Structure 1
Amino acid sequence: MKISTVCGWIMVLVLLLSVPAMAGTRDDCISKCKEAATFIKTQGIDAAIKEINNKEGRFVWNDGVSYVFLMNMKARMLAHPHKPELLKPETLIDATDVDGKAFFRDFVKAAKKGKGWTKYMWPVPGMDVNKPKHTFIYRVPGTEYFVGAGFYVMSPGVYY
């Protein structure tokens, strides 16, 4: 078998193995948000805040890069496993990303609709770099709370 043929098969194998992981990224964010919403409804807000703030908890995955956060409809961060400083302000409604986008407003808009996707620049946990982040927002039914989880676009076609 020629080396070019072997290389071709290796490329096909790499692509086949990477597609499910990339395709599942959006699905993982959606399922983790819905799982967190169920946790809030069944275990209560205090238990949810504790669990979502836990860096080693059930709502942090993908080597800590992917995680759920919890906010209220006034854009107050109630739980975040990587950025406890976001819990201090009464609201983040006017806070912006490094490009000046007030993306927390988009979070609230999506939550008012019940769910939706947003895009903004955000630091990748464990790395000293900001990358485009796509975040799914899901309102906890019958409450003033919503959760979010997202994935980063590391380079075209490479998601984390």
Structure 2
Amino acid sequence: MRNLFLLLLLVPAMATADSELVTGRAAPLEVYEKVREAARYLSEAGEAGLKEFENPRGRFVWKNAFVWVTQCDELYCLPGPKANNIGINISKAKCYQTGKLYILNLCFEAKDNPNGAWVEYWWPKQGYEKPQRRVSYMRQVPGTPYQVVAGTFDDQTSLDALNDLIK
């Protein structure tokens, strides 16, 4: 009986909660962990491992996020799980609020940092009139010309806190 009472209390609370467990949104820590895992995988698998990043149900797709691969030196995205991202010229991807070229900024920051880099930018989000804050993490794949990157909408975690993750 007591368990039923707890269940009756928790279900409505969970239905209105804004946690990643309930909403299915990727948390920044998950983004960080998946990008690190992807960098290890691609470093070991080499070019043959690129196919895994094209799979919309692959190991690097979870919740509302996915890891994709770039070649910063060539200024484009490799094929990923979202067909509309294939071959995007990363030198043209701008933040909707500041106009900054956020992927180029990520490339610059991550290039010489073995721990990778975080960046924040504003991007359209379904259900909102104005662009929402998004954070992305990029890491160079050792021994390759590739970088791996993923992001999530997050309006609470500061860039300083995110950068503390990678120290």
1:117 maps to 2:118: yes
Structure 1 runs not aligned, ≥5 long: 1-8
2:135 and 2:152 in contact (8 A); partners too: yes
Give the Cα–Cα distance (whole angstroms) in 1 for the partners of residues 61 and 22 of structure 2. Answer: 17
Match of 2:103 in 1: 104
Give the Cα–Cα distance (whole angstroms) in 2 for the partners of residues 21 and 151 of structure 1. Answer: 15
Normalised by the length of structure 1, the TM-score is 0.69
1:43 maps to 2:45: yes
Counterpart of 1:93 in 2: which secondary structure?
Answer: helix
Give the Cα–Cα distance (whole angstroms) in 2 for the partners of residues 107 and 27 of structure 1. Answer: 18
Structure 2 runs not aligned, ≥5 long: 1-8, 158-167
Counterpart of 2:95 in 1: which secondary structure?
Answer: coil
Aligned residue type for 2:80: H
Counterpart of 1:120 in 2: which secondary structure?
Answer: strand
Return structure 1 stretches of 4+ with deviation > 6 angstroms: 19-22
Question: What does 1:24-43 correspond to in 2, within 5 Å?
Answer: 25-43=27-45
Q: Paired residues, what number?
A: 140
Give the Cα–Cα distance (whole angstroms) in 2 for the partners of residues 73 and 128 of structure 1. Answer: 31
Q: CA RMSD in A?
A: 3.4
Give the Cα–Cα distance (whole angstroms) in 2 for the partners of residues 128 and 79 of structure 1. Answer: 27
Counterpart of 2:134 in 1: which secondary structure?
Answer: strand
Structure 1 residues 43 and 19: CA distance shift in structure 2, 3 A:
closer
Structure 1 residues 121 and 142: CA distance shift in structure 2, 3 A:
same
Match of 2:70 in 1: 71
2:20 and 2:27 in contact (8 A); partners too: no
Instruction: Give % identity.
Output: 25
Residue 128 of structure 1: how far off its partner (Å): 5.8
Give the Cα–Cα distance (whole angstroms) in 2 for the partners of residues 45 and 122 of structure 1. Answer: 30
Question: What does 1:49-68 correspond to in 2, within 5 Å?
Answer: 50-62=51-63, 65-68=64-67
1:70 and 1:146 in contact (8 A); partners too: yes
Give the Cα–Cα distance (whole angstroms) in 2 for the partners of residues 107 and 76 of structure 1. Answer: 13
Aligned residue type for 1:107: L
1:92 maps to 2:94: no
2:35 and 2:148 in contact (8 A); partners too: yes
Counterpart of 1:97 in 2: which secondary structure?
Answer: coil
Give the Cα–Cα distance (whole angstroms) in 1 for the partners of residues 46 and 127 of structure 2. Answer: 35
